[in-house]
A and B are shown apart, each in its own frame.
Chain A
Amino acid sequence: AQSVTQLGSHVSVSEGALVLLRCNYSSSVPPYLFWYVQYPNQGLQLLLKYTTGATLVKGINGFEAEFKKSETSFHLTKPSAHMSDAAEYFCAVSDYSQFNKFYFGSGTKLNVKP
């Protein structure tokens, strides 16, 4: 079975500081990995995804994530936080052996201080 663990339910950074949101996964098959962002009262929006190939994946709004198989991790980073980045971020793994079923982590709320 697949599972996702996001360390830190709340992360607070200053504007302009590095953003690092942690995600570790467990998968019985080579994983497809995703990061989604959720703004208040909105649905989830895809930030980036890893399927195969290059392990450093670039997404929208300056975010990127690196797939590290040896560490079973897919941490999300952004060099410089903006106020508009304040939202909740979800890491997910999909299992192509189970109809591409998604398993989400419990989310990390990012607060950006001025």
Chain B
Amino acid sequence: EAGVAQSPRYKIIEKRQSVAFWCNPISGHATLYWYQQILGQGPKLLIQFQNNGVVDDSQLPKDRFSAERLKGVDSTLKIQPAKLEDSAVYLCASSLDYRMTNEQYFGPGTRLTVT
């Protein structure tokens, strides 16, 4: 079974530029999560999708971050414009269905450096 795929693995941008990350969850998984992991901290949930709908985006900085999962499969997370404090690893995870299971499977992450 293929795992959660993410791209790119690394990205370096200057502040005020925009960037997008892509995630393809495990086939058949209805729930998709985006996390931000700042160096020295644990992952923090940014947004949770169930199929193509948003379940929880309470911690997403909506003035600069956006995410979509239009067809209920893969997803993109965008930052526009980026700030220095956005430097972090962005992790995507998926689960079969959050209403039935709390087991999440994580991708390798995208390491973003904002200079």
Contact = CB atoms under 8 A, between A and B. Distances in A.
A105 B48 contact: no
Interface string B100-114: 011111111101000
Q: Bin chain B's interface residue count.
A: 20 to 34
Q: Please report whether the interface of chain B is mostly helix, strand, loop or mixed according to DSSP.
A: loop
B33 to A, nearest CB: 8
A100 interface: yes
A22 to B, nearest CB: 14
Interface string B7-32: 00100000000000000000000000
A90 to B, nearest CB: 5
Contacts of B44: 104
Interface residues of A, number: 26
Interface stretch (B35-43, B61-69, B70-78, B79-87): B35-43
Lowest 6 CB-CB distances: which A-B pairs, in order? Answer: A104-B42, A43-B106, A44-B106, A100-B102, A100-B98, A94-B102
Given A99-B56, A101-B56, A107-B42, 15 more contacts: A4-B42, A43-B3, A43-B106, A43-B108, A46-B103, A49-B102, A90-B42, A96-B102, A100-B101, A102-B45, A102-B102, A104-B43, A104-B44, A106-B40, A106-B41
9 contacts: A4-B42, A41-B108, A42-B108, A42-B109, A44-B91, A96-B102, A100-B95, A100-B98, A102-B45
